[in-house]
A and B are shown apart, each in its own frame.
Chain A
Amino acid sequence: QQQVKQSPQSLIVQKGGISIINCAYENTAFDYFPWYQQFPGKGPALLIAIRPDVSEKKEGRFTISFNKSAKQFSLHIMDSQPGDSATYFCAATTTGGGNKLTFGTGTQLKVEL
């Protein structure tokens, strides 16, 4: 019940295209869903996050779509650039429960010219 399932495992997108990464969860107590971007040899960086009381959040080229009834959320990267090539992790937590993050397995994104 604590798992967060993430897909796809890897993704290749052409420059300018849309990258879409999907996550699904089981635990209905989760109330905060961040996405992290990680470059090789670096720590994860908080990219964007959403609470379940909204269905979409947009920050620049990054958008989270959230479907509470389906217990799914996704990251959309518009106008993908080579500099977006990284590993992306979705995560979920219960903010009143110690804030331990449950991570997805990660998606390795490569944006080609």
Chain B
Amino acid sequence: GAVVSQHPSWVICKSGTSVKIECRSLDFQATTMFWYRQFPKQSLMLMATSNEGSKATYEQGVEKDKFLINHASLTLSTLTVTSAHPEDSSFYICSATRQGPYYEQYFGPGTRLTVT
């Protein structure tokens, strides 16, 4: 149990276009979903916290108009990178929190975004 999927696993897009990444919790309902960004050989950087039916909470320094997050249901959250530029190229990872005594956080497999 506790499987989180992401789609697509990798995407290449041209500068100026928008890209949508989906995050789904497959076998549990997620009270909260998180979006992270990870640069090579670095730790995970939290971008935003997403709760179903409410606006996402963005971390300081993250442009909310550039990284649009929609949490449509207890099993689906999407991240849209708008007007992508090469500096947005990164590994984006979502996680979902399963309700329970410890609210364990389970991560998706990640999406590699390359902007050309």
Contacts and interface: CB of A to CB of B under 8 A. Distances in A.
Contacts of A93: 105
Contact of B104 (A46, A103, A106): A46
Q: How large is the interface on A (under 10, 10 to 19, 20 to 34, 35 or more residues)?
A: 20 to 34
Contacts of A101: 34, 44, 46, 105
B58 interface: no
B110 A41 contact: yes
B contact patch SS? strand
Contacts of A44: 44, 93, 107
Interface in B62-116: 91, 93, 95, 97, 102-110, 112
B54 interface: no
Contacts of B104: 34, 46, 49
Contacts of B34: 100-101
A110 to B, nearest CB: 13
Interface of A: 32, 34, 36, 41-46, 49, 51, 89, 93, 95, 98-101, 103-106, 108
Interface of B: 2, 4, 6, 32, 34, 41-44, 46, 49, 91, 93, 95, 97, 102-110, 112
Closest 7 CB pairs of A and B: A43-B107, A43-B110, A43-B109, A44-B107, A103-B43, A99-B103, A43-B93
